[in-house]
Structure 1
C-alpha cells in the first residue's frame, strides 16, 4: 500500500476528510478543502466536475490510485474522491504523492 494511503487512513480518523461528491464540491466552494484526491477510475463526468471546480477555486487536486484502494484506505465502499481539509495533511500528501 502506498504511504499516502496510510496517511489517508490517519486523516480520516483525525476527521480532516470530506466524502461524497456534493460535500466535496461544497468544501471546494467554501475553501475548506485544501486538496482533492480523485480515483483514476472515477467516471469522466465526476473527474471533470471536480477538477473544473478545483481549478476555478484554486484548490490543488491529484489523480491517484483506483477507487478500490482509496475505499480500502478509508474503510468505506466505492469512494472515488476525497477532500482533505487540513493544511498539514495536504503538505504531507503532496510530498508523498510527488515523490
Structure 2
C-alpha cells in the first residue's frame, strides 16, 4: 500500500476537476452512477459511514476507507470526510496504489 502516492493522486484529481467532495455531492454522483470510486474517511461518523457504504454497495461503486479525515483534507485542500472520484483513470490508479 502506497498511501502517500495515493493521496498525491487525490490532490491531482481535485485540481483536474475530476472529483466531488462532501457527503451530499458524493451521494448525488453515486445515485447518478457517475462516481468511479468513493473514498470515505476511516474516522467518519457511524451514520455517515452507513449511508455512504450502503449507497456505494447498492450502486456497485468501489469504496476505500483507509484514509483519515486529516489525510483526505490535507490531500485535497478542503476539510472533507467523503469524496467521489469521477474519472475512471484516477479511480483505477488510486485503487492500484492502495490495494496493490
TM-score band by shorter chain is: over 0.9
Q: Give the Cα–Cα distance (whole angstroms) in 2 for the partners of residues 64 and 37 of structure 1.
A: 8
| Structure 1: segments with no counterpart, 5+ residues | none
Partner residue, 1:40: 42
Q: Give the Cα–Cα distance (whole angstroms) in 2 for the partners of residues 36 and 96 of structure 1.
A: 15
RMSD value over aligned CA atoms?
A: 0.9
Q: Deviations over 1:34-77 (max 9, x none)?
A: 00001110001101100000010111101121100100000112
Partner residue, 1:95: 96
How is 1:1-99 mapped onto 2 (pairs within 5 angstroms)?
A: 2-77=4-79, 79-99=80-100
Q: Give the Cα–Cα distance (whole angstroms) in 1 for the partners of residues 93 and 67 of structure 2.
A: 17
TM-score of the pair, normalised by structure 1: 0.95
Highest RCO, 1 vs 2 (Cα 8 Å, sep ≥ 6)? 2
Between the two proteins, the alignment pairs up a number of residues equal to 98
- 3-state secondary structure, aligned to 2:64: strand
TM-score of the pair, normalised by structure 2: 0.94
| Structure 2: segments with no counterpart, 5+ residues | none
Q: Hey, which bits of structure 1, 4+ residues long, moved more than 6 A?
A: none
